[in-house]
Structure 1
Amino acid sequence: MRLIKIKGCGNSENITLILAHGAGAPADSPFMEALANALKAEGITTVRFEFPYMQKRRADGKKRPPDRQVVLLEHFSLLVDEMRAELGDGGRLLVGGKSMGGRMASLLASQRDGIDGVACYGYPFHPPGKPEQWRTGHFHEVRSPALIVQGTRDPFGKPDEMVGHEQALGFVRLRWLEGGNHDFQPLKRQQLTWRDLLATAARETRIFIDEFVTS
């Protein structure tokens, strides 16, 4: 699989978001498919890809750990160059992703230019059960506007764990999905469904783009 591109409905502004997958699931996982379709409804074109270790897994079916960070970022950066050349000067190019993919997107945006915005979904602020190991040291160096959409039940970072860490976010905008877990699945007793929360995540992305990327 090379790339999965879904054109946003009525995307007259030529906005493209490169979406990277998480550590354990591929680019066409149910979450990535549903998120891409929700973003499409908000007029955002998405491009999905797979890191080298996931490409190998697709080829032979063997599970592997993620590549080293330098390999992930190099692969991601090459795709940014490719998409930037395709969009030209008139397009807006964002990077983002699910969990690890979002973290790599934010790291990439702290190291290079040519990125107009960052959108992370289920950011891994810390490993589950280890809230002392924060992964936010690079946020102040991110060179473009950034958004994180996070479920309030996400074991990688919950609202009460953010207390005292607000300054670490820098200028990153953080939006919460009530009841959502790491995959944005709500509690069974909630009236809102999984797709409702994904639609909210997409809507927050649209608002973010309108206010901070295209304004």
Structure 2
Amino acid sequence: MSPEPVEIGTPYGAARVTLQRGTGRARALLLLGHGAGGGITAPDLAVAARAANAVGVHVGLVEQPYRVAGKRAPAPAAQLDTAWLAVVEAVRAGELGIDKRGRLPLVQGGRSSGARVACRTAAEARSRAVLCLAFPEHPPGKPEKTRMPELDAVDVPVLVVQGRTDPFGCPEPGPDRDVVVLTGDHSLRSDRAGVENAVTDWLESLLAS
């Protein structure tokens, strides 16, 4: 039976978090956000959550308020970031029924737009690391409109998992930034085993350090 999502109030309406518990002793909490026009059932999010659970990481799949309200068009970036940080604060306060003392390390991430939110809010959320699935380096066909400053500003370890033919581009590795390039496009559907292996290896290394 699927877990019941928890609604969390934000300044822009209710967000929703679906908790998937890790196996064995809890080692960390990973919050994952969805893409601009998609939801938390995206294949790469499902694979990443499964990989995290297998290594003892609880996963909270976060639905932004605009999605909870049934809207397809995403909210402005500032609203997305504010709502995300409200969710982080609520989760740290124990609203998911886990980690009520705030002892678990927080890792945050998401796919596409959700990855951008995770990068922009990493410092304020005090995230230990950031997981980016299909980070949109630039709009398709417009490399001059780069989003790399958002990624470059993150000063904690980052994993980027990217499709080789992603029309949104492919970030380069950098200090504390690993980039795994897989067969496929922006959906990351073509190599789910590759996504799982990349996330598993990165989390294991991160949590061992």
TM bucket (normalised to shorter chain) is 0.7 to 0.9
2:13 corresponding residue in structure 1: none
Q: Confirm or deny: 8 A CA contact 2:29 2:104 kept in the other structure.
A: yes
Q: Confirm or deny: 8 A CA contact 2:55 2:204 kept in the other structure.
A: no
- Considering fraction of residues, name the structure with more helix: 1
CA–CA separation in structure 2 for the residues paired with 1:9 and 1:179? 29
Does 2:186 correspond to 1:182? yes
- Considering fraction of residues, name the structure with more strand: 2
Matches within 5 A, 1:1-150: 1=5, 2-13=16-27, 15-57=28-70, 63-86=71-94, 87=99, 88-110=101-123, 112-150=124-162
Q: 1:145/1:84 Cα in 2 relative to 1: closer, same or farther (>3 Å)?
A: farther
Q: 1:11/1:154 Cα in 2 relative to 1: closer, same or farther (>3 Å)?
A: farther
Whichever residue aligns with residue 24 of structure 1, its letter is: G
Q: CA deviation at 1:22?
A: 0.4
1:154 corresponding residue in structure 2: 166
CA–CA separation in structure 2 for the residues paired with 1:25 and 1:134? 22
Matched residue SS, 1:81: helix
Segments of 5+ residues of structure 1 without an aligned counterpart are 58-62, 187-193
Q: 1:42/1:175 Cα in 2 relative to 1: closer, same or farther (>3 Å)?
A: farther
Q: CA deviation at 1:208?
A: 4.6
Whichever residue aligns with residue 64 of structure 1, its letter is: R
CA–CA separation in structure 1 for the residues paired with 2:193 and 2:174? 29
Matched residue SS, 2:30: strand
Tell me which moved more, 63-72 or 171-180: 171-180
CA–CA separation in structure 1 for the residues paired with 2:186 and 2:25? 29
Whichever residue aligns with residue 209 of structure 1, its letter is: L
Matched residue SS, 2:22: coil
Whichever residue aligns with residue 206 of structure 1, its letter is: L
TM-score by length of 1: 0.78
CA–CA separation in structure 2 for the residues paired with 1:176 and 1:67? 29
Q: 1:198/1:11 Cα in 2 relative to 1: closer, same or farther (>3 Å)?
A: farther
CA–CA separation in structure 2 for the residues paired with 1:150 and 1:205? 14
Whichever residue aligns with residue 20 of structure 1, its letter is: G
Segments of 5+ residues of structure 2 without an aligned counterpart are 6-15
Q: 1:30/1:150 Cα in 2 relative to 1: closer, same or farther (>3 Å)?
A: closer
Q: CA deviation at 1:98?
A: 0.5
Q: CA deviation at 1:174?
A: 2.8
Percent of pairs identical after alignment? 32
Say what the alpha-carbon RMSD is for the aligned residues: 2.2
Q: CA deviation at 1:91?
A: 1.0
